[in-house]
Chains A and B, each alone.
Chain A
Amino acid sequence: MNATPTQHQLRLKHGNFSTLSEALDYAASGETGCNFYSGRGKLTHVLTYAGLQQQAQNLARRLNGLELARGARVALIADTTPDFIRFFFACQYAGLVPVPLPISLHLGGHQAYVTQLKRLLDSCQASIAMAPEGFLPFLEEAAAEMDLVLIGGPETFASLEETPDPLSPLEPEELAYIQYTSGSTRWPRGVEVTQSAVMTNLSGIIQHGLQVQPGDRCVSWLPFYHDMGLVGFVLGPIASQLSVDYLSTRDFAMRPRQWLELMTKSRATISFSPSFGYELCVRRLGEDFNEQYDLSSWRIAGAGAETIRADSLSRFAKTLKASGFKPEAFLACYGMAECSLAVSFAPLNKGLEVDKVDGDQLSNNRLAMPFVQFSTDEYQPRCSKFVNCGVPLPGYEVQIRNMNGEVLDERESGVIFVRGASTMTGYFNDPIMTEEVLSPDGWLNTGDIGYWVKNSLVIIGRSKDMIIINGRNIWPQDLEFMAEQQAEVRPGDSSAFSVSSPDGHEIAIMVVQCREMDSQKREDLVQRLRSLVHKELSIPCYIELIPPRTLPRTSSGKLSRSRAKADFLTRIQWEEVTPMLSTTARSA
């Protein structure tokens, strides 16, 4: 078996197609495609775009036989397999809307995973659902009480009768797919992305963000159910006719060095990761590894999807310098599923640009003033560092606004609002949530905090309340809900957030108001909550009990997580918190 080539004859088109199926039709006239590798570096499947087009069209004719309504949702458990891509494009040709669903990597998470799938199937009102072999039992269990037309593995669908009718692919104004945000598992939000939105974003990424050129090749271990994995590394390579090599997320998490080995072997030029992926690599590299890798072809090492930690990235660059890795390859970017994928990219070949600001000015006056070191050794301001995420892609309007909705100037921090052709039309079947973030005139409230430096965006924090642990987004609402399910805790009694530990790791914290005075009972509650959080979300969480009516509230009476966090930081004793997180929790 040979991987698909990097160099090829087809003239490069930079994503200027009107639909995804049109993009695949063009790529299918060349020799490129996608390649799947095992965790031990063996090439296991090759799927050329020509083969993909033919197989997806064949499958589309079989799906047509089910006579589903146009735009009906097709739930797909998105493991890193050729089948996922085949089904995704079969939907494109058949006029159906694919909905990628997550896979679970958690030990013992059977029930939590089934519950999550159930909520997602229900939210997108799927008509049919496909899971790769092995995941089918979870899907069947989740859909047991639902009225789906068909649930099955790839073979079930392959054995459907082929219909002779001509295919009628999804049109530019129809949905291309529904992307569930990696947000709350309890209240899933499905982003509606139209064909024209995703194509606008793809051509912006290919033409301006990455400036794709002949000879480029991609490598990715990002999950197919995340926007960066799906749009960036499944749809992006097709829309730019590039070959791509895949490693599954699970294999990367287990053997991160495989990423570097694959980059070396395929001489790929483009690969992205959240900061934690670069950290994981450095942590797992042993001694004397540099001669094993040749990363000199790596032109764009993208970083995004969570707040970019410049220190982690420069550690990666330093560690792999002798392997030919160039720090200029780092490319900071900013985006979200609600905008298909990308909003802005830093300039190419420049590496990370870190903006150092006066941390006290920032927290007290919301001003990101350049950090100035005083020559005297009296008072020194805090220095905060943020990564410059570059100029928004053409076609976007971006504003930074304060709490009163006023548009802010350079170096004033506030909430980022975005408007443009690649923003979502709304959250599927959720007008209330949609109205909360999308104004009638098309402005999307990203919830992210940032400021301008000239015409570049600097991101201070992703969705201000989101907790990000090892690249996973955890919603504070999910943690607080678990607390409120306990008999001792009432709604509004808990507040969850994350803080950075002295060694730079994010740690989830939940502060809970507790009326119970008995110390054994208090200890029981803490243990029970920690086990529960562990079981449902597989993260450690520090639980602190505080007296009733001590959680800070805003003037309108809402709980303020940011003030609860600020209060917590004033009383925290790290020597008490750190051991608590590694201590063995007694089973509840």
Chain B
Amino acid sequence: MISYAEILPQLFDTLKPFTKENFRLKEQTELVAELGLDSLQVMQVLLKIEDHFDISIPLNNLPKIRTVKDLGEEIEKLLKG
């Protein structure tokens, strides 16, 4: 079973291509407000995550995911489920 601590660096790697050069991703980084992801980029991020972790993130959980941490915890929960 993969833990949140192990998920986090993988998540940073996934998000890296969507950030500006030299931007330091943190757990508290806000995906939309800070990274400026538009709705299609959000879908690309989710696709990468779903394929990487082989999970399916329910649509209704998206409104609750604000930060990198929220996303990591959601992945952890789905992997456990």
Contact = CB atoms under 8 A, between A and B. Distances in A.
B11 to A, nearest CB: 14
Nearest to A531: B33
A540 B32 CA distance: 10
Contact of A103 (B30, B39, B59, B61): B59
A361 interface: no
Contacts of A539: 38-39
Interface string B58-78: 111111111000100000000
Interface stretch (A188-196, A250-258, A298-306): A250-258
B42 interface: yes
Given A104-B63, A135-B60, A582-B20, A535 B39 contact: no
Which 5 interchain pairs have the tightest Cβ spacing? A134-B60, A108-B66, A110-B63, A253-B43, A254-B43
Interface in A122-155: 134-135, 138
A461 interface: no
B57 to A, nearest CB: 10
A106 B39 contact: yes
A113 interface: yes
Interface in A565-588: 581-588
Nearest to A80: B59
Contacts of B30: 108, 587
A39 interface: yes
Interface in B27-58: 30-40, 42-44, 46-47, 50, 56, 58
A552 interface: no
A135 B64 CA distance: 12
B47 A584 contact: no
Given A135-B60, A255-B47, A538-B42, 12 more contacts: A105-B59, A106-B62, A107-B31, A108-B66, A110-B64, A248-B59, A250-B59, A253-B40, A254-B46, A254-B47, A470-B38, A540-B38
17 contacts: A104-B62, A105-B39, A106-B42, A107-B66, A108-B30, A108-B32, A108-B63, A108-B65, A109-B62, A134-B61, A253-B39, A254-B43, A254-B44, A538-B39, A540-B38, A584-B20, A585-B36
A76 B70 CA distance: 28
Given A470-B40, A538-B42, A584 B62 contact: no
A107 B23 CA distance: 20
Nearest to B67: A108
Chain A CB within 10 Å, residue with most, of B34, B62, B70: B62
Contacts of B43: 105, 250, 253-254
Contacts, number: 97
A540 B37 CA distance: 8
A336 B78 CA distance: 40
Contact of A586 (B34, B38, B39, B66): B34
B3 interface: no
Contacts of A585: 33-34, 36
B19 A584 contact: yes
Contact of B42 (A107, A134, A531, A584): A107
Given A108-B31, A255-B47, A584-B20, A113 B36 contact: no
Interface string A528-563: 000100110011100000000000000000000000
A582 B34 CA distance: 11
A385 interface: no
Interface residues of B, number: 31
A356 interface: no
A39 B56 CA distance: 9
Given A108-B66, A135-B60, A538 B32 contact: yes
Contacts of A110: 63-64
A305 to B, nearest CB: 16
B50 A535 contact: no
A462 B7 CA distance: 45
A535 to B, nearest CB: 6
A134 B65 contact: no
B39 A584 contact: no
B66 to A, nearest CB: 4
A151 to B, nearest CB: 16
A587 B33 contact: yes
A538 B38 contact: yes
Chain B CB within 10 Å, residue with most, of A104, A250, A584: A584
Contacts of B47: 254-255
A280 B70 CA distance: 28
A472 interface: yes
A539 B37 CA distance: 8
Given A538-B32, A587-B34, A107 B62 contact: yes
Interface string A98-123: 00000111111110010000000000
